[in-house]
Structure 1
């Protein structure tokens, strides 16, 4: 499973049962990424409302599908090239009709695109009671100008409520006899691991970790000028048994591969279930992602409904809520430091400072990334 593809978990099924009886009578409609908010938090919020109002929490399996819905609600169609732009597989099904929501989850990668297409509207800082408790790196992530560019003087276009990172998982029983412990991206190139690695089928992630190994940014836009990138990618490709963004951990569990690169929300639960699997956050830094509450563009929301939107956002930023998000979703709330979270493996402040959120690149630059990636099969 992974956070960006179709997933069905026991938590999500419980969430579906929880909300099914609430859809007939509700004021606020929230479309959220499945598994990103625990059922326990929703129950606690509904109890705190202490009224006849019901909130419709509608989980969606895929961030790309949420973005498509934002476009649909604004009467826009998604170009045929959109799937390649996002680098995500097609969904096995698409729900026929989903009523426009008042608040939705969006990944940080889509934020600038949504602003450019006028799919969302900025939030009112005066209504964000805990904004001052949000670390500057997350404030900067959502403060943008009208072109979607990060701007410290821009408006607040979203409320980050969960974040995570890319990491390395490995079989301790297979790696220990080799005489080393993986610590950084450079370990993926060790000859002892030839044909024993599974990688995400994501050009930005894999070319990005190569750039990080070479001392560059994940968001480098002049990769054609870096001669070592293709050589490093070709060498790394010789180490890889297969690429997959969904089922990359099962071979590691079975012992068919010895090391895998993947997302923290996938890997952390596996560490609790399999004692022979260990994980490490690369010392040179890694890619970050964030789940963000955004408000779809709407001209006529009532003051009452706006109040409910901000009440929910502020509720997610309370310490008790943050603790539930950390514990039950294996993500990290931005209001709790990673080192104080409830997960088994935490990111140090030093590594966090070296890490980056992956941002959209111009189409001409993405074409260079895709050309490099496709060259592996030639």
Structure 2
């Protein structure tokens, strides 16, 4: 849907400044037409698949009199390509931690007006100064998770302990991988004892060669339908984001989640606003709404991901608060590693990823 043009509206607003002073400031959720009538505004979101509770989106639309258009992408590379292609309609995006760093360096993100996001104080303190955006200048942490191994214990009789278990020939054509460059290459790097953010071409070459031997046994590279494939028992084992693992488990209790002994990636997805977004204030209003404790608890209970909202914790169910997937032990967390921006090494990652995908095709 195309966004409405604002030039004539702003001229009208300037001319009516005195009237607005007496009547109160115009809400971010409304625009004034030349005829004095209000027109519905549209908040265009470009985010991960199934990343908001539908009821939460519906309630925001009703409360603020707006319409939400929600488009989804499968990985950060897809997001970056879309944003680099030129001006887009989107008001809110959800880049992962390292992508926030990259996009801010490229001048692609708008600075947040924190006066419009007072509920930012509800976040846990460690999320109010993340390493990739220490002052929350461009982003707000939406959720965190870990990329580990999900497996169906009906078919995978021995609990996986290593990434090497994905290469087990017994699971040929029942292995599934998220379609994400950093997750897939990072998994193979960790398997071989390297950092998931190495810039060493020899180490990347080793990881790539290892992945080539896995590809014949992989049923698909998929992030959008990975939940359904595990729920339907089509996929038996694979790389899965922790929140998706919890979602799968609700419908298929035979699916378990583990962090391999070699370690795994820990990450944070965020909410950010593209530079030049036409509804920046409305996007900030939406972020603030999501940080309301009651809304936050309802949203994360539905999507199955970790809630960074400290004031929402008391509103969560006991099952949510005690779930081991959402509450990793100190020992497990010590085996995780954050992704970092690749800077000059990014073309190297891109090349190996494209070769891997083309080799599979």
> Would the TM-score normalized by the shorter structure come out above 0.5?
yes
Describe the shift of the 1:124–1:141 C-alpha distance in structure 2 as closer, same or farther (beyond 3 A).
farther
Distance 1:341 1:263 in 2: 18
> Which structure 1 residue ranges, 5 or more long, are not aligned?
1-21, 78-97, 144-151
Cα 1:353/1:311, change in 2 over 3 Å = farther
For 1:198, which of 165, 176, 184 is the aligned residue? 176
Query: What is the deviation of 1:256?
Result: 5.5
In the other structure, the counterpart of 2:309 is 335
What SS does structure 1 have at the residue aligned with 2:273?
strand
Counterpart pick for 2:153 among 166, 172, 191: 172
Q: Which residue of 1 aligns with 2:101?
A: 112
In 2: Cα distance, 1:137 partner to 1:223 partner? 33
One of 45, 60, 71 as aligned partner of 1:60: 71
Cα separation, partners in 2 of 1:257 and 1:215, compared to 1, 3 Å: same
For 1:54-93, what aligned pairs fall within 5 Å after superposition? 54-62=65-73, 70-71=83-84, 76=86
Aligned to 1:214: 192
2:191 is aligned with 1:244:
no
Aligned residue-pair number: 311
2:126 aligned residue (130, 133, 136): 136
Any idea what the Cα deviations from partners look like across 1:114-158, whole Å, max 9, x if unmatched?
A: 324433211134554344534435632551xxxxxxxx4x66111
Q: TM-score, normalised by structure 2?
A: 0.67
Provide the secondary structure at the position in 1 that maps to 2:52: coil
Quote the Cα distance in structure 2 between the aligned partners of 1:356 and 1:42: 33
Alpha-carbon contact 1:287-1:355 (below 8 Å) kept: yes
Residue 123 of structure 1 corresponds to: 112
Partner SS for 2:107: coil
Does structure 1 residue 370 correspond to structure 2 residue 353? yes
1:255-274 equivalences under 5 Å are 258-274=236-252
Q: Which runs of 5+ in 2 are unaligned?
A: 1-29, 32-37
Q: Report if aligned partners of 1:167, 1:280 keep a CA contact under 8 Å in 2.
A: yes
1:36 is paired with a residue of what secondary structure?
Answer: coil
Q: Tell me if structure 2 keeps the 8 A contact 1:199–1:261.
A: yes
Q: 1:36 aligns with which of 51, 57, 61?
A: 51
Q: Is residue 159 from structure 1 mapped to residue 114 from structure 2 by the alignment?
A: no
- Residues 1:237 and 1:312: Cα distance change in structure 2 (over 3 Å): closer
Cα deviation for residue 241 of structure 1 reads 4.0
Deviations 1:303-349 (A, max 9, x none): xx73x544432332233222122111122222258996486732415
The change in CA–CA distance for 1:30 and 1:333 in structure 2 (over 3 A counts) is farther
| Residues 1:309 and 1:353: Cα distance change in structure 2 (over 3 Å) | farther
> How far apart are 1:285 and its partner, in Å?
3.7
The alpha-carbon distance between structure 1 residues 41 and 195, as it changes in their structure 2 partners (threshold 3 A), is: closer
Residue in structure 1 matched with residue 15 of structure 2 by the alignment: none
Whole-Å separation in 1 of the counterparts to 2:248 and 2:144:
18
Counterpart CA distance in 2 for 1:113 and 1:374 is 23
CA distance in 2, matches of 1:241, 1:140: 35
Report the RMSD for the aligned CA atoms in angstroms.
4.1
Cα deviations by residue, 1:52-95 (Å, 9 ceiling, x for unpaired): x52332211226776566556xxx37xxxxxxxxxxxxxxxxxx
Q: Which string of whole-angstrom CA distances, capped at 9 and with x for unpartnered residues, describes residues 17-66 of structure 1?
A: xxxxx99833573425353222332455466x5xxx52332211226776
Q: Distance in 1 between matches of 2:225 and 2:50?
A: 18
Question: Within 2, Cα distance between the matches of 1:275 and 1:369?
Answer: 36
Change in Cα spacing, 1:191 to 1:321, as seen in structure 2 (3 Å) is: same
